Amino acid sequence: MGSLSKKNAYLCTMMKKITLTLALLTQCVVLLFSQVNLFPTPATAFRGRGVFYVNKHTLAEGNGDYAAQLAAGWAESINALGLPEHDAVKNRVRLNLNKELNLKKEGYTLTVSSEEVLLEASSESGLFYANEALLQLIRFYKGVLPVLRINDYPRYEWRGFMLDESRHFFGKETVKQYLDVMASLRMNVLHWHLTDEPGWRIEIKRYPKLTTVGAVGNYHDPNATAAFYTQEDIKEIVAYAAERHIMIVPEFDMPGHATAVCRAYPEVSGGGEGRWQHFTFHPCKDETYEFINNILDELVALFPSPYIHIGGDEVHYGNRSWFTDPDIQQFIKDKDLKNEVGLEHYFIRRVAAMVAAKGKTLVGWDELVDAGVSPARAVVMWWRHDRRSQLVKALEQGFRVIMTPRRPLYGDFVQYGTHKIGRFWNGYNPVEDIYRFPDPVVHLMKGCEDQIMGLQMSMWTERIADKKRLDYMVFPRLVAVAESGWTPAKAKEYSLFMQKLPLFLNYLDSKNIYYFNPFHPDARLEPAEPAKKEDVLQDG
Of the candidate residues 251, 340, 412, 526, the single one contacting ligand TNX (CB under 6 A): 412
Q: State whether the Cα torsion 431-170-180-381 is positive or negative.
A: positive
Q: Is 370 in the site for ligand TNX (CB under 6 A)?
A: no
Name the residue nearer to ligand TNX (CB basis): 131 or 166: 166
* 176 CB neighbour count, 10 Å cutoff: 14
| 44-53, strands of its sheet edge to edge | 44-53, 144-152, 108-112, 116-121, 92-97, 59-62
Smallest separation (angstroms) from ligand TNX to the CB of 420: 16
Short-list 169, 312, 257, CA closest to 536: 257
Of the candidate residues 39, 161, 410, 504, the single one contacting ligand TNX (CB under 6 A): 410
Is 270 buried (19+), middle (13-18) or exposed (0-12) by CB count in 10 A? buried
Q: Is 365 in the site for ligand TNX (CB under 6 A)?
A: yes
Q: Within its chain, how far is the Cα of 241 from the centroid?
A: 13
- What does the per-residue mask of binding to ligand TNX show for 430-469, with x meaning CB under 6 A? ------------------------------x-x-------
CB 451 within 8 A of CB 400: yes
Q: Is 472 in the site for ligand TNX (CB under 6 A)?
A: no
Name the residue nearer to ligand TNX (CB basis): 534 or 539: 539
Q: Is 514 in the site for ligand TNX (CB under 6 A)?
A: no
Q: Binders of ligand TNX among 16-35, rule CB under 6 A?
A: none
CB 40 within 8 A of CB 488: no
Angle at 312 between CA 306 and CA 313, to 5 degrees: 130
Name the residue nearer to ligand TNX (CB basis): 60 or 355: 355
User: Cα separation of 295 and 52, whole Å?
Assistant: 54
Name the residue nearer to ligand TNX (CB basis): 34 or 429: 429
Buried b (16+ CB within 10 A) or exposed e, 16-50: eeeeeeeeeeeeeeebeebbbebbbbbbbbeeeee
Which residues participate in catalysis according to the annotation?
196, 257, 314
Q: Is 251 in the site for ligand TNX (CB under 6 A)?
A: no
Q: Is 314 in the site for ligand TNX (CB under 6 A)?
A: yes
Q: Could you write out the DSSP letters of every residue in 178-241? A: HHHHHHHTT--EEEEE-BSSS-B-B--TT-THHHHTTTS--SS-TTPPP--B-HHHHHHHHHHH
Amino acid at 458: S
Smallest separation (angstroms) from ligand TNX to the CB of 407: 11
Smallest separation (angstroms) from ligand TNX to the CB of 340: 19
Smallest separation (angstroms) from ligand TNX to the CB of 386: 12
Smallest separation (angstroms) from ligand TNX to the CB of 406: 6
Q: Is 383 in the site for ligand TNX (CB under 6 A)?
A: yes
Of the candidate residues 152, 313, 344, 529, the single one contacting ligand TNX (CB under 6 A): 313
Name the residue nearer to ligand TNX (CB basis): 298 or 314: 314
Interface residues toward ligand TNX, by CB under 6 A:
313-314, 365, 383, 410, 412, 423, 460, 462, 539
